Structure 1
Amino acid sequence: MRYLYEFKKDPFGDIGIVLPEEISLFSDFIENIATEEQADEYMEYIKKVLDGTYQDFVIELNATSVFIKKDVTIVENNFRIEEPFENTIETEQFIELLLVWREKISEIFKG
């Protein structure tokens, strides 16, 4: 994994992922993934972009959306008050972030 990350509890006791500033908006997207099945579904879409089945793919969740292309993935949060409203990451790194989150889901959403 090229980017550093850590898991932290917010004031409400929920666990979130903290990412470097240049990709911090990806946490807004990733933290809305509540099941391993949902993470797997999104990774399947990404694999289809990488293998050329899809030219690109968009996933929209709550306030965020990701635009997946073969080389890069762009996340947008149109409800942010301050810039940046979007971040970009290499698509392969985005898959790695999803895998990191997927491994933590059972702990985060237990019960």
Structure 2
Amino acid sequence: MKQTKRILHSAKINNNCPECYDTDGLQFTFTQVISENRLYLKMDKKIVEELYCHSCNQQIYPISWTPDIERVYQYHKKKAIPMGLGRNYKTMGYLVLVAVLMIILFGIGAGIFLFLN
């Protein structure tokens, strides 16, 4: 099963980096994982948040966030609206579903025909 990440929201912020204290490099990225196979696409509920500093090239983990960064995070988290949850069937998925339903209906029809004779 192939998994891809889709960016829901990305924002540069002007807070100080907890590692290098630069004010120009921080960026929040909110992503959603999409699993794909031949029959359907499945979107996960979970949104993955990441804070990355482009000045010191490090990911900043929530344990080292300041209260200011936490407030900005809460604001931008509201903007990251996940895509439709559940499964989106592809054409092949619908063909398999129709084929299975036809086999089931044929089996029921054949059973009724044999029962009446």
TM-score range, shorter chain: 0.3 to 0.5
TM-score where L is the length of structure 1: 0.33
**Which of structures 1 and 2 has the bigger CA Rg?**
2
Whichever structure has more strand as a proportion of its residues is: 2
TM-score where L is the length of structure 2: 0.31
